[in-house]
Chain A
Amino acid sequence: MKRKLYIGIGIVLVLVVAIAVLVQRKKKETAIGIVLPLSGSMAQYGDNGRNGLTLASEEMSRDNGCGNLTLIYQDSGEAPPETTSAVRRLIDANGVRYIIGGLTSGGVLNALPTIRERGVLFFTPAASAPGIPDGNVVFRNWPSDDALAGMFGRVAHEKLGVKNVAILHVSNDYGKTNAEAFSASFTKAGGNVALIRAFPQGTTDFKSLITIVSSLKDLDRVLLIAYPDEYRALFQEIAIHKVGKGVLASDTFYSPELLSQLGSAAEGTIIAVAAKPGENYEPRQRFIKAYRDRFKKDPGLVSDTAYDALHMICRGIKETDGQPRSVGQWLRNLQGYQGAAGLVTFNSSGDVTGDLALYEVVKGKFEARSF
C-alpha cells in the first residue's frame, strides 16, 4: 500500500516539475497581441497592418531579435466597443502584456481605460485623434490628426488656391477632429467653409447630401473625411452630380485598392497624408523591397507604421527587463529610431511629429504633388 502511495506521489512530483518546466519555457516566449480590423469596411487597412507585422516578425525570427515571438490576432471590426473587447480578450485570455493595433481613434479611446487599468503597453500605428498616447504605456508612431489636418487647411487655401470648401465627415473622433482642425486653419488662412455635415459610419445613401453640396454656389472643392465604404458610396453620387472643381480627401483615402474600385470618378482628387521619407532614406527602401518580395504588391496605409511598431517593441523588450513600464520608458528615451515610416522620436506624451505630403489622383494613380 505504502509502495503505491510513494509511486503516486512520485508521479505527481514528476508532473509538477514537468509543468513548471513547460511554464518556464512558455515564459520565454514573447506574446504580442494584435488588434486590427480584419473584417468590415476597414479590413483593407487591417490587412495592410497584418502584412507589415508579418514581415517584421519573420525578419525577427530570422535574426532571433525577440526570442520566441508569437503574434496573437484579434479582430476589432468597426464599432469602438469591439476594440475594447479584443483588448480584454488578449489580456485576460491570452495573458499578453504588449498590444499593437487599434486603427480607429474611437476604438482606441474606448479601450484606453482598460489598457491603463491593466498596465499593458499599447502601441497604435494609426489611431490619430489628439490625446491618445500618454508616454507611459500608450504610444503611437502616426502623427496627430489635428496637426496634419491643420496644415492641410492652410496649404489648401494658400498653395492649392481653394477659397470655398464644403466638408463632409464621418461622425466619429477621427472625422470630427480632422474637420474641425481643417476648418479652423482654412478659415484662419482666409478661406470660407460653406458647409460642414457629418454622417454616421456605414452610411450608403448620400443622394441628398451630395445634392446639397452640388448646389452650393462658387464651391471650389469638397473635403471628404471617411472610410473606404463611405468613399465608395460618396463617389458613386459624385460620379453623377458634379461637386465644385473636385474633391479633397483625408489620409484614409490613400489606398491603391480603393482607387482601383473608384476608377475615373476619383480623378483629380487631392489627398493629404503624413509625409514619408524620400528615395535616399535606406530603411524605407529596404522595407518597400522586402514587402514587395514577400506580398507581391506595394505597402499600403499602416503597413510601415505597424512594421516599425513591432520592431521597436521587440527591441524595447530585449534591452530592458521586459516589463511594460520599462519598455515604455525605453521608448520615451528613444532618439531618431530609423524606421520604415521615417525617423521616430517620441515626445513626453508618447506622440510623434510629422510633416504633410499631398498626392493627386492622376490617371488612376497617386502622384506626389508639390506645394
Chain B
Amino acid sequence: MLLQHLFNGLLAWTYYTLVAFGFYFASVGCRHFNFTTGFGYLLGPYIVLFFLLHQLWPVGIGISLLGCAGMGALYHSLSAWLSKKGLREGQLLIVSLGIMAAGQNGLAFIFGSTSQALWPFNAVDAFYQYRSLVITKQQFISIVVGGGLIVALLLVWRKSLLGLALRGLLESRLNLMLRGYNVDALEKIISSVGFLLVGVAGILWASDSRVRPSMALDASLIGIVTFIVGPILVEGLWGLLFVSFAIALVKVLFTLFLQGDWAMTVPLIVFLAALLVYRGKLVLRVS
C-alpha cells in the first residue's frame, strides 16, 4: 500500500510541478499573474477529447498543444493591449479570472459539466505490477513525459537562449530592450510555453484520471500558491518544485488519514503554513 501511495504522490507531484512551471512562465511572459493559464489546463485535454471522439487522437494531441501555445500568445497580446489602455495588475487579474470562468462555462456547455475520461476503461491496462503497486500505461507515460519535461526545464532550460531570456526578463526588461532584443516577442514566446506546460499537465492528468470543466480552478489555486510561496524558498524553478512537492505530500497524507477530497484545501494549507513560517517575506512578495 505504501508503494502505491508513494507512486500516487509522485504522479501528483509531476502534475503540480508542470502546472506551477506553466503558471510561472505565463506570469513572467504576461508580466502579471493570470488565471487564464488555468483555462489551458482544460483546453489541452478537451481538444484531445474532441478529436478522440472523432477517432483522431494523435492529430488531437498536436492541435491541442498548438491551441494551448496559441492561447498563451493570444492572452499575452490581449493583456499587453489592456495594459496600454491603462488597466493595472489587479484589474488584469480580474479580467483573467473572467476569461477562465467563461472558458469553463463554454466547455461545460459543449461537453457537459460531468467528468470525462480520455480512455475507455478497457484501455486502462496495468503496465507494471509489483505486489500492491500497479502502474498503468497512462501513468507510465505521465511520469516519463512529465518527469522528462521537468528535468529538462530544471537542467537544460537555464542554459538555453529562452532560459537566459526568461532570467533577463525577470532581472530587467529595460536592459534587454536596450540590448536590442525584441522583448515583446520574447514575452509572447515565454507566455506560450507557460500555457503549453499547463496544457500538457492537463492532458496527462486527464489521460490518467478524468477531466471536468471546474478543474481549471484547482489548477489555478496550485499555480497561485506555488507562484507566491516558491520564490521564498528558492528563486526560480526549484522553489516551485519544492512547493509542488509539499502540496503533493500533504494531499497524500491527508487522503490517507482524513475524510474528504483535499484537492482545493491542500494548496491553501501550504500557503497558510508558509505564511506562518515566512510571514515577513511573504507579505513583502504579495505586496
Contact = CB atoms under 8 A, between A and B. Distances in A.
B261 A212 contact: no
A212 B1 contact: yes
A78 B132 CA distance: 36
Interface stretch (B47-55, B119-127, B149-157): B119-127
A239 B263 contact: no
A356 to B, nearest CB: 28
B263 A205 contact: yes
Contact of A209 (B117, B124, B212, B255): B255
B175 interface: no
Interface stretch (A17-25, A112-120, A230-238, A248-256): A230-238
A9 interface: no
A211 B133 CA distance: 9
Interface in A59-103: 78
A333 interface: no
Contacts of A204: 115, 209-212, 215
Contacts of A357: none
Interface residues of B, number: 31
Contacts of B117: 232, 236
Given A40-B114, A240-B134, A263 B122 contact: yes
A154 B126 CA distance: 36
B143 interface: no
A211 B4 CA distance: 7
A158 interface: no
A264 B122 contact: yes
Specify the main secondary structure of chain B where it touches its partner: loop
Interface stretch (A123-131, A194-202, A363-371): A194-202
A337 to B, nearest CB: 35
A265 interface: yes
Contacts of B1: 211-212, 214-215
A233 B114 contact: no
A212 B121 contact: no
B281 interface: no
A17 B179 CA distance: 84
Given A204-B210, A263-B120, A241 B134 contact: yes
A240 B122 CA distance: 10
B173 interface: no
B214 interface: yes
Interface string A258-275: 000011110000000000
Contacts of A263: 120-122
A41 B210 CA distance: 14
B252 interface: yes
A198 B1 CA distance: 20
A202 to B, nearest CB: 7
Interface in B166-211: 209-211
B32 interface: no
Given A40-B113, A198-B259, A233 B120 contact: no
Contacts of B214: 202
A233 B206 CA distance: 11
B256 interface: yes
B260 interface: yes
B77 interface: no
B121 A235 contact: yes
